[in-house]
Amino acid sequence: MHTTDITIIGAGLAGLLTANLLQHMAHSPLSITLIEANTSPGGLAQSHPIDSAYPHTRTNMGPHALYLNGPLHRLLRTLRIPTHGKKPTQYPTLIKEDHASFTLPTSLRTLLHNNHLTHHDKLTLSRALIHLSTQSHHHPDSRSAEDLLTSLARQSKRVLNILNILLRTTTYCASPHILQATTAHLQLKRSIRYGVLYLDGGWQSLIDALLARINKNPNISLKTKTKATILESTPTHHILTTQHQERIHTTHLILAIPPHKAAKILPPNTLNLDALTPTKSACIDLLLKPRPHRPTSVYGLSSPFYMSNHSVAAHFHTHPTINTPHHVVHAAKYLPHDDSSSPTQHLQDLQQWLDFITPHWQEDTLAMRKLPTITVMHHTPNILPSPQLLRTPLPPHIHLVGDWYHNHNNILADAVASSTQHTCHTILTHDLHHA
C-alpha cells in the first residue's frame, strides 16, 4: 500500500496548481500523490499541434488569455512561474455590423476619432468605461450584468452593444441577463485596467513549468493513465484503489476534476449537479496562410461571434530555428446558458460568420481543429434560483478544487486559482493540524 499525506485526483491546471501551492505554503515537506486519468496532464490548458504536418506549432484548445493582476497571474508570480507573451491591445480590433465595420475604441484617441459613434455615444461610452474601471464592483446578488450595462449605456443601443462585446470577450458568457453583476464588473475592471496576455507557446508553457516543478520535487508522485475510487473512508483517512489494483492510503483527498466526475467518486447524492450553470462555446482553431490586410481580431456587434489572430502577440512554434509562416487563429461562438441548438449548427454558424468577415479563410487554411461544444466554465455565478450544490456535507478531509467551487466571484482560470488558494489555506491552517 502506498501511503501519502495528500492525494489529488486530476492533474489539469487545478491539480497542478494545488500540488505546487501546497508545497510552497507548507512549513515542512508534504508527501503528495497526483493522479491523472489521461496520458498527458494539463486538461483543457494543454496546447497541441492541430495537424501532424505542423508538429512544431502548439495551439490552444480555443482562445485563451491570461488576465493580468488576476488571481491566476498573482498565483503564478508567487510560484515564480514565468509568463511570457504580449498584450493584444496594441493591434486594431474591428466590429462587424451588416456590411459595415468600425474599430473598437480601446483608448481615448481611438474613441475620439471613431466616426461611427455620435458625440453622445462617445461621452456615454467613456463614462461607462471610467465607471467600470474605478468604482466598486460589489452589487446586490440579484443584480444582473444586463442591468449594470443597461444603466451605464444610458439608452444608447450602440454603446450597449459595445459593452456587451467587452462582456462576452472577457467572460465568454452570452447570457448577460443571468450573469451576476459583481462577477461581470470585476472581470471588466481587470480587463480595462490591466489587460491580458497571449502566452508564448500557448498555455502549455504554464503546464510545462508547473510539471517541471513537480518532477523536481521528490515529495510529489505523479501517476498518469490512472483512475482511482474510494475504497474506504473514515474521519482520519481514506483508502483509494486504482484500476491497477494499487491501494493508496491518504489523509487528505482533493478532487481537482469536473463536477460530474467528482460526483462519481463522492458518496452518492453528495453533489447536486443541477445547481451548476456552465458556460459553453463553439470554437474553431486554425492555422492560416498569412494574407495582407486580414483583420487581427473581429467581433460581432450584436451577434455572439469572435475571431482573433493570436500570432500577432504570441509565438506558438516550439523549435527555435523555425520561422513560422502561418498564423494561429481562433474563432468562437459564445453560447447562451439555455442553448438548444445542435453542435453541428454551431459550427455551421461559425463558418458562415468566418465567410462573412474573411472570405478567403478556407483557401488559406493549412490545418483546422473543430470544437463543436467546449465547456469554458463548469459554473457561472448567476442570479437564477438554484438549489445548494452540496446535498450533504463533504466527508472529513475531502476537498473540491475547480472553477465551480469557491470561486469568490472570479471566473475562468482565475476561478480555478481562487479555489486552489482557498483549499490550500484550509488544509494547511486548519485540517492538517486537526487530522
pLDDT tens-digit readout, 7-20? 999 999 999 999 99
Q: Write down the pLDDT at residue 434.
A: 46
Longest dimension (CA), the chain: 72
Q: Summarize the confidence of residues 279-297 as an average pLDDT.
A: 91
Which cell numbers in the block locate residue 395?
Answer: 466527508
Collapsing DSSP states into helix, strand and coil, what is residue 239? strand
Contacts 24+ apart (CB under 8 A), 168-172: 168/299, 168/304, 168/306, 168/334, 169/299, 169/306, 170/67, 171/145, 171/279, 171/380, 171/411, 171/412, 172/279, 172/281, 172/332, 172/334, 172/376, 172/377, 172/412
Query: Could you tell me which residues come within 8 angstroms of residue 268 by beta carbon, excluding any fewer than 6 positions away?
Result: none
pLDDT band of residue 271 (cuts 50, 70, 90) is: very high
pLDDT band of residue 96 (cuts 50, 70, 90) is: confident
DSSP class of residue 104 equals: P
Of residues 297 and 273, the one with the higher pLDDT is 273
Q: Write down the pLDDT at residue 111.
A: 79
Q: Summarize the confidence of residues 386-415 as an average pLDDT.
A: 95
Average predicted confidence (pLDDT) for the chain: 92
Q: Give tens-digit pLDDT for 292-315.
A: 888 888 888 888 999 999 998 888
Q: Give tens-digit pLDDT for 166-217.
A: 999 999 999 999 999 999 999 999 999 999 999 999 999 999 999 999 999 9
Which cell numbers in the block locate residue 60?
Answer: 490552444
Which cell numbers in the block locate residue 332?
Answer: 468562437
Say yes or no to pLDDT of 90 above 80: no
Q: Write down the pLDDT at residue 1.
A: 78
Q: Give the domains, in start order, of the chain with CATH numbers.
A: 2-45+205-274+390-434 (3.50.50.60), 47-86+197-202+279-377 (3.30.519), 118-193 (no CATH)
By the 8 A CB rule, do 162 and 125 touch?
Answer: yes
Q: Give tens-digit pLDDT for 97-135.
A: 766 677 777 666 777 777 788 999 999 999 999 999 999
Q: Write down the pLDDT at residue 435.
A: 46
Q: Write down the pLDDT at residue 301.
A: 85
Of 403, 334, 333, 59, whose CA–CA distance to 199 is shortest? 59
DSSP class of residue 382 equals: B
Q: Give tens-digit pLDDT for 213-253.
A: 999 999 999 999 999 999 999 989 999 999 888 999 999 99
Q: Give tens-digit pLDDT for 24-75.
A: 999 888 999 999 999 999 999 999 999 998 888 999 999 999 999 999 999 9
Q: Summarize the confidence of residues 338-353 as an average pLDDT.
A: 94
Say yes or no to pLDDT of 322 above 70: no
Q: Summarize the confidence of residues 260-274 as an average pLDDT.
A: 96
Q: Summarize the confidence of residues 253-269 as an average pLDDT.
A: 96
Other residues' Cβ atoms within 10 Å of the Cβ of residue 189: 18
Considering the entire predicted model, what is its pTM? 0.94
Collapsing DSSP states into helix, strand and coil, what is residue 321? coil
Of 210, 377, 281, whose CA–CA distance to 62 is shortest? 281
Say yes or no to pLDDT of 380 above 70: yes
Q: Summarize the confidence of residues 140-166 as an average pLDDT.
A: 95
By the 8 A CB rule, do 187 and 415 touch?
Answer: no
Q: Summarize the confidence of residues 145-161 as an average pLDDT.
A: 95
At 298, which helix (H) or strand (E)? strand 297-300
By the 8 A CB rule, do 319 and 48 touch?
Answer: no
Of 22, 112, 89, 20, whose CA–CA distance to 425 is shortest? 22
Say yes or no to pLDDT of 320 above 70: no
The percentage of the chain sitting over the pLDDT mark of 70, rounded to a whole number, equals 95
